[in-house]
Amino acid sequence: QVDESKEVESIVPSYACQRRTTLENHNTVFTDALSLLAENAELSDEDGRGVAFRRAAAVLKALHSPVIDLLQLRGLPCLGGHSLRVIKDVLEHGASSEVECTKQSERFKALKVLTGIFGVGAKTAERWIREGIHSLPQLQDSAHTLNRAQQAGLEHYDDLNQPVTKAEGDAIGEIVEKAVMSVLPGAQITLIGGFRRGKLTGHDVDFLITHPEEGREVGLMPKVVSWLESKGFLLYQKTTRNSYLESKDGPARPSSNMDRFERCYSIFKLPEDAKEGTKQTETLTEDTPEDTCRLTTPSLVKDEGSESTKRANLKPWRAVRVDLVVSPISQFAFALLGWTGSKLFERELRRWAGHEKAMSLSSHALYDNTQSKYLRASSEEEIFAHLGLEYIPPSERNA
């Protein structure tokens, strides 16, 4: 008996970064349920519970067949009592009562609507809900002054809540490449985030920019942003020095060459014809009635269904969230690994590094606490090797 459970456990190792998780998920009915509870926990400032549900979902995503019996789960890691109850409920009744209840709760619905605004986090949404604001019209009627990001988020609410396709991501890639090449020839642009993992849609498009000569990337971001702005491609942008290092997950103290790490959160104005251009080169034009789709999607922000709203939505462009990150070449491999995701895969990599190897991993560096030194790497493969992990390619990091 004991041996048998050990056998199963060795098949599914407990850290997500030790497993290969493709996009082929045989257990979506369970993972959707667990992900929704994770989301609800995260929106309710219960990160611990959130991670527990995410880990449970990730284990089911890594299985090679659908779960049809609880006995199949014997010996699997990361499945706590609560997650098992949810899975059992789904197995027995086709749905989890807790999930259905959460989905229908006014609080969850309001949190979803409000955090659906770019620039609004769980804390802000929570505060508004306490004041009785549950919807976008209520927010607009309230006396709240929104910051610049939130104003842009509200203005482009419908577009930003519509998934970004790979074709749109590629079209934006071409624009970003043009911008970067005209301000720094020789620079390199890499698509990161979910699209690098092979996802077909995403909530944004993420790019990592570097230059093969260390130091040449300094000052690049403002130039790229100016170029994009001058061509009318940006509806909103905020450039920051990466503050991730100061968070609890980063290494204790950044070394001086880390100060260059810059990030730009933006909202792109993607012309419809730019998108069509990429589509044609990829698959020949497949006539997706995207404008029609947008027409029938009722705008939550504006006066629903009025003729003027419909006309306003018939615009020749669409708003898309785009994140740009610039990294010096010496940190490129760490940035690439850190920004490819998934979020859980990243979290598990850092947990593995800290708990199993006494190392601190960030998107900038890997520090070995035992040897008291930084470990260099010029490829993701080298970082996995430093960590004593088998290399997992991006398409298998979909934990």
Catalytic residues: 204, 206, 323
Least distance (Å) from ligand DGT to the CB of residue 305? 29
The site partner of 159 among ligand DGT, Mg ion, none (C-beta below 5 to 8 Å per kind) is none
Please give the full DSSP string across 158-217, using - where no structure is assigned.
Answer: HHHTSPEEHHHHHHHHHHHHHHHHHHSTT-EEEEEHHHHTT-SEESSEEEEEE-SSTTTT
Residues that bind ligand DGT (CB under 6 A): 193-194, 199, 202-204, 206, 244, 338-339, 341-343, 346, 363
Least distance (Å) from ligand DGT to the CB of residue 377? 16
Site string for Mg ion, 344-363 (x = CB under 5 A): --------------------
Least distance (Å) from Mg ion to the CB of residue 13? 26
- The verdict on 204 binding Mg ion (CB under 5 A) reads yes
The site partner of 244 among Mg ion, ligand DGT, none (C-beta below 5 to 8 Å per kind) is ligand DGT
The site partner of 342 among ligand DGT, Mg ion, none (C-beta below 5 to 8 Å per kind) is ligand DGT
The site partner of 343 among Mg ion, ligand DGT, none (C-beta below 5 to 8 Å per kind) is ligand DGT
Q: Is 210 helix (H, G, I), strand (E, B) or coil?
A: strand
Phi/psi at 276 (5° precision): -60, -40
Least distance (Å) from Mg ion to the CB of residue 375? 27
Give the residue nearest to ligand DGT (CB). Answer: 341
Which C-beta is closer to Mg ion: that of 127 or that of 343?
343
Least distance (Å) from Mg ion to the CB of residue 206? 5
CA pair distance 342, 197, nearest whole angstrom: 8
Which C-beta is closer to ligand DGT: that of 313 or that of 342?
342
Phi/psi at 330 (5° precision): -65, -20
CA pair distance 398, 196, nearest whole angstrom: 10
| Residues 63, 68, 73, 78, CA torsion sign | positive
CA proximity to 183, closest of 226, 214, 223 = 223
**261 exposure class (CB count in 10 Å sphere: 0-12, 13-18, 19+):** buried
Which C-beta is closer to ligand DGT: that of 37 or that of 399?
399
Which C-beta is closer to Mg ion: that of 22 or that of 299?
22
| Cβ pair 120, 153 in contact under 8 A | yes
Of 43-51, 134-142, 206-214, 272-280, which part binds Mg ion (CB under 5 A)? 206-214
Which C-beta is closer to ligand DGT: that of 91 or that of 375?
375
CA pair distance 250, 258, nearest whole angstrom: 12
Which C-beta is closer to ligand DGT: that of 224 or that of 361?
361
Give the residue nearest to Mg ion (CB). Answer: 193
Least distance (Å) from ligand DGT to the CB of residue 13? 20
Choose which of 50, 153, 173, 202 interacts with Mg ion (CB under 5 A): 202
Least distance (Å) from Mg ion to the CB of residue 193? 3
CA proximity to 190, closest of 53, 289, 338, 77 = 338
**Residues β-bridged to residue 268:** 234, 320
CA pair distance 227, 214, nearest whole angstrom: 23
Site string for Mg ion, 143-182 (x = CB under 5 A): ----------------------------------------
The residue type of 370 is T
CA pair distance 8, 67, nearest whole angstrom: 14
CA pair distance 312, 146, nearest whole angstrom: 23
For 322, the enclosing helix (H) or strand (E) is: strand 317-326
DSSP tally for the chain: helices H, then strands E: 19, 10
Which C-beta is closer to ligand DGT: that of 76 or that of 333?
333
CA pair distance 45, 306, nearest whole angstrom: 38
- Enumerate binding residues for Mg ion (CB under 5 A): 193-194, 202, 204, 206
